[in-house]
Chain A
Amino acid sequence: MEHIRTTKVEQVKLLDRFSSSNKALTGTLYLTATHLLFIDFHQKETWILHHHIASVEKLALTTSGCPLVIQCKNFRTVHFIVPRERDCHDIYNSLLQLSKQAKYEDLYAFSYNPKQNDSERLRGWQLIDLAEEYQRMGVPNSNWQLSDANRDYKICETYPKELYVPRIASKPIIVGSSKFRSKGRFPVLSYYHQSKEAAICRCSQPLSGFSARCLEDEHLLQAISKANPANHYMYVVDTRPRLNAMANRAAGKGYENEDNYSNIRFQFVGIENIHVMRSSLQRLLEVSGTRGLSVGDLYSGLQSSGWLRHVQAVLGAAVVLAKAVTTESASVLVHCSDGWDRTSQVCSLGSLLLDPYYRTVRGFMVLIEKDWISFGHKFSERCGHLDGDPKEVSPVFTQFLECVWHLTEQFPQAFEFNEAFLLQIHEHIHSCQFGNFIGNCQKEREELKLKEKTYSLWPFLLEDRVKYLNPLYQPQAQEFAVLEPNTVSFNFKFWRNMYHQFDRTLHPRQSVFNIIANMNEQNKQLENDIKDLESQIKQCKNKQADGVLTKELLNSVRPESPTLKTSLCFKEQTLLPGNDALRTIDSSNPADNRYSEYAEEFSKPDPAVVSLEYGVARMTC
């Protein structure tokens, strides 16, 4: 609270980001300990969590006031104009302080209270149980076992305690291998494909330099290979571009030498590093955030940012994994440099392609818990939760969500969840409202006592499950058992609903999903009604046959006369989508769109010839 000097500023203007006519909403700006709140004169509220703020910028003073531009991590951009410079300065300074916390304990999650008692909180944390998940996959079994080698985080600080390794890999082999791997992240099981008996394993790069070897590491890889009875060779997938991997050799790191490891097939898949991804997305957002953008600019911006190329590469790598497992029954070992960014992306996407369970609401939570949270994706650093090194921030997880979104676009019936679910998860990796994504690894999370001091996100998402369901989901469809996405270039599109999720004017005006979901609900209800009525009729008939049909019974049926009831509920429900549609269209008024600037042309008095030329120039620009 000590950072807040001004809590309320009146007569603040909120500018529309894409309107060139400088349309503005006037309202009051409030600053609270956790949120920035703007209430416009329609009483519409815009809440911005301090943790979501990526940057605050104070622009040069104008005649109407002092502009304040806030960029958020959830891709919201707001442009306020504060009448007095003093107020603007106060808010600017407060936001600078409030958006960057120095300690974990100052994050929102540690003060957020959803009014649950301790046992509810604990149950929330126990909702996703990874031991259960490994059991579902079919481990431990005769080839794979749970290792207690990392019980006290002794071998690897950034790994979880419970790790699954080949049964024939002894502890000395594990310890030896971990010493030969960057950050001690030795090869462990990420996903086990029960029917193919093939495994997806993950690790970090070997410390091979130009010629170093490690027998234990070689043994461990062989053990993974042997744990798969169906196939005598395994793939080792280095997710980095070849050049980067070679450069790492000079620093004593590098990649596996095929000559030293028996029966491995080594390959690079060429995904760029976190720094490239960060600037790529930055460039993309710069382009797509430009006012008065032309079609050509958008596509050349998409191209020059390289973002879709990177997304294609990540998804392509996942396809390589899935293919190796399904067509060759081969196990795959995946690594990048440290094995927590690209490796997490590729392993989780690979499992998503292979296993329909991960495409359910609950399964997707499990997948994130397993391949991202427990295996130590550095959420706090990548999302910039604390004031730290900006070079550690990178949209790796966002990119993963985008890959999943592309899959949902290609396979609209294969996923139980919809786009809103992905957007909501993205919202919360940055919000720090729940404890799940705080910290960089399990050890750190335990030290922070997150399970005692914060709440888990998942039960809250499950509570709202209905909102996140895909009405077209076909859980039983055989053709979606293993997804084989087509990664040709034209299947990749700009994800408008992510990067412009708050720019309502750019969105489709009506939603198909909502209406289908409504219809589905309606159908279910109607079917139930029919069943009810039919059973009632049956009862009546039986009673009639028994000769006990009395007037009262008839009366008891009448009020629920099927025609009346179904037509009633039908009427009510057909109205609903209609209303919905109307509401959405209402918001689509021509003034929201950019062609509205021509309206000014309409309303201008007939100009002289010279200014008409000016008008023409404006119209064509």
Chain B
Amino acid sequence: MEFSELIRTGQAQAELLRGPEAPPLRGTLCVTGHHLLLSPGPQATPDLWLLLLRSVDSIEKRVAGDCGTITLRCKDLRVLQLDIEGVEATLNIARSIEGLRLGDAWHFHPPERYYKRVAREVLLRSSQPLIGPQKRRCAEDEALLRAVLAGSRPGARGFIVDTRSAQTAKQARMTGGGTEAKAAYPGWKRLHRPLERGRPLQESFVHLVEACGDLEQSMDHWLSRLAGCRWLAHVKEALSTACLAAQGMEREGACILVHGAEGTDSTLVVTSLAQLILDPSSRTMAGFQELVEREWIQAGHPFQLRCAHSAFSHARPKHEAPTFLLFLDCVWQLGRQFPLSLEFGEGMLLALFDHAYASPFGTFLCNSEQERCLCEVRTRTHSLWSGLNQLKEQRKLRNPLYVPNPLALWPSVEPQSLRLWQGLFLRWTRPPEPSEAAWEKVWQIVTDQEKTEGSQPTVSASELQL
């Protein structure tokens, strides 16, 4: 590749500032095709500091005298400052980072309808029907939905959860889309639950991150920004729509079809959360990975487009939207209300967030299965799941208190029950929390228990000698 063209200055002396809590790091800075490395001198700790270039969201350079400063804002919301010796080196390195951090963008195609079967009630997702201004109908599509009801228990009804408002759905007809006409789909009833998507969601994310970066602000300012960014309102809407879909299946025994416009964003939030609520197997470590793989990656959530930039980018957002983050936040809220019922912990959700935005693994590459096949992602990259399932990662990712829970999880969606996900949004601004030490203690208690449990064979063994 043409990496070498982009790297004019490969090395420079630099100092890295990582926020108020971590000590600064001095050493040799090195730019490679994918990474930024900082190797401290031989006298210092042998630790190498490493940053994936793709995780840089925005870059700012300043020169003064004969040294320069580069501020890197990362997609995982970290802010780093590099003080580099030499003006030319600074400018060259900044240019290299700028050039190398950008990946290619691919085109994206709307997906077909997908199915997911849970017991006899089914949860389906799709994109909008292509009704258009002429109010077209499609016999096959109608037959399909009829067949769904016929395949379920006798007398079962179906509900179509449209994640747009009735108004927007109607307007979509002008561009060839629309929503199911009542007369054409007997037995199915439509419910509109508008969820925020696209640019407003991205802006909400940007505003929240901005608010979280300001340590000095007054209480009033902070609370008004928290209310103003509406992020928690989006979390509430997403969770309650998922609960509605789940409730329709569990309580009413109904079949549920979820769709918005393309069926690749808010639709996936709803279907994946509904499964987490209803299906105990999706709450295990393996089950959750499967859920993400199936409901997000294979379902064609366009990760490349949605996660091209995180909250720091100055570029005008085009296709970016933190839909996947919204899903992760909802899962976190669920985990807070049912702290014993998810096998994975906050660490898993943070890892997924980080990797969705920038990752050395191929799992979140491309926008759809088709693209992944074309790019031979499966043969040319490694899977994130094998990375996460390594033994040394487990303590970070697992919930030590997990007890399998066969029941559905019905969370409270009242605003008083929802919290800001501090572990994500304030991960780099707040000092390491004593509560993290508390989790260590929890782990210790749990492993103590395993140990005491494990010590029984030695006792019985010595008894056998008697």
Contact = CB atoms under 8 A, between A and B. Distances in A.
Contacts of B449: 519, 522-523, 526
A209 B420 CA distance: 48
Contact of A508 (B165, B215, B338, B426): B338
A464 B136 CA distance: 71
Contacts of B230: 295-296
Contacts of A593: 243, 410-414
Interface string A579-621: 0011001101110111110110111001001001100100110
Contacts of A8: none
Nearest to A554: B466
A506 B460 contact: no
Interface string B191-232: 111100000000000000000100111111111101110101
Interface in A534-587: 534, 537, 540-541, 544, 549, 554, 557, 561-563, 566-567, 570, 577-578, 581-582, 585-586
A589 B445 CA distance: 31
B434 A490 contact: no
Contacts of A606: 182, 189
A493 interface: yes
B456 A562 contact: yes
Which of B248, B414, B441 has the most chain A CB within a 10 Å cutoff? B414
Nearest to B165: A620
A474 B441 contact: yes
A413 B445 contact: no
Contacts of A410: 433-435
A412 B409 CA distance: 27
A294 B415 CA distance: 6
Interface in B312-342: 336-341
A506 B336 CA distance: 12
Contacts of A590: 243, 246-247, 250-251, 408, 410
A582 B337 CA distance: 14
A591 to B, nearest CB: 9
Contact of A299 (B159, B226, B338, B456): B226
Contacts of A75: none
Contact of A594 (B182, B235, B414): B414
Contact of A489 (B222, B243, B254): B222
Contacts of A493: 419
A515 interface: yes
A507 B433 CA distance: 23
Nearest to B436: A412
Given A508-B336, A554-B466, A578 B403 contact: yes
B135 to A, nearest CB: 14
Given A303-B223, A489-B222, A506-B412, A472 B337 contact: no
A512 B336 CA distance: 10
Nearest to A549: B466
A541 B465 CA distance: 9
Given A486-B430, A507-B417, A308 B337 contact: no
Interface in A242-292: 288
B118 interface: no
Contacts of B418: 295
Contacts of A474: 441
Given A509-B338, A537-B463, A593-B410, A299 B445 contact: no
B251 to A, nearest CB: 6
A561 to B, nearest CB: 7
A288 B416 CA distance: 8
A175 interface: no
Contacts of B215: 488
Contacts of B221: 489
Interface SS, A side: helix
Contacts of A413: 434, 437-438, 441
A567 to B, nearest CB: 8
A482 B348 CA distance: 33
Contacts of B416: 288, 293, 298, 494, 496, 500, 506
B236 interface: yes
A412 B455 contact: no
A173 interface: no
Nearest to B450: A523
B222 A510 contact: no
Interface residues of B, number: 86
Interface residues on chain A, size class: 35 or more
B405 interface: yes
A533 interface: yes
B381 interface: no
A212 interface: no
B460 A293 contact: no
B252 interface: yes
Interface string A511-537: 110011001101100110010011001
A616 B190 CA distance: 10
A412 B240 contact: no
Given A523-B445, A594-B413, A595-B244, A508 B453 contact: no
Contacts of A620: 165, 192, 194
A537 B459 contact: yes
Given A299-B226, A563-B456, A616-B166, A472 B442 contact: yes
B175 interface: no
Nearest to B446: A519
A131 B410 CA distance: 53
A599 B247 contact: yes
A490 B339 contact: no
A534 B236 CA distance: 55
Nearest to B452: A526
A295 to B, nearest CB: 4
A194 interface: no
Interface string A493-505: 1101000100001
Interface in B221-279: 221-224, 226-228, 230, 232-233, 235-236, 240, 243-244, 246-248, 250-252, 254
B222 A619 contact: no
Given A490-B420, A620-B165, A561 B460 contact: yes
Given A510-B340, A602-B252, A602-B254, A299 B223 contact: yes
A515 B243 CA distance: 27
Contact of A599 (B252, B401, B430): B252
Contacts of B337: 508-510
A45 interface: no
Interface in B388-413: 401, 403, 405, 407-413
B448 interface: yes
B227 A592 contact: no
Contacts of B412: 505-507, 509, 588, 592-593
Closest 6 CB pairs between A and B?
Answer: A299-B227, A303-B223, A489-B222, A526-B452, A309-B219, A298-B415
Interface of B: 159, 165-166, 182, 189-194, 212, 215-224, 226-228, 230, 232-233, 235-236, 240, 243-244, 246-248, 250-252, 254, 336-341, 401, 403, 405, 407-420, 422, 426, 430-431, 433-435, 437-438, 441-442, 445-446, 448-449, 452-453, 455-456, 459-460, 462-463, 466
23 contacts: A294-B233, A295-B232, A295-B235, A299-B227, A300-B227, A303-B227, A412-B438, A510-B338, A512-B339, A512-B401, A516-B445, A530-B452, A537-B466, A557-B463, A563-B456, A581-B403, A588-B412, A594-B413, A595-B240, A595-B243, A599-B251, A616-B192, A619-B191
Interface of A: 18, 288, 293-300, 302-303, 306, 308-309, 312, 409-414, 471-472, 474, 479-480, 486, 488-494, 496, 500, 505-512, 515-516, 519-520, 522-523, 526-527, 530, 533-534, 537, 540-541, 544, 549, 554, 557, 561-563, 566-567, 570, 577-578, 581-582, 585-586, 588-590, 592-596, 598-599, 601-603, 606, 609, 612-613, 616, 619-620
Given A496-B416, A561-B460, A566-B453, 16 more contacts: A299-B223, A412-B435, A413-B437, A413-B441, A500-B416, A510-B338, A510-B341, A515-B340, A519-B445, A523-B448, A540-B463, A562-B459, A590-B410, A593-B414, A602-B252, A616-B166
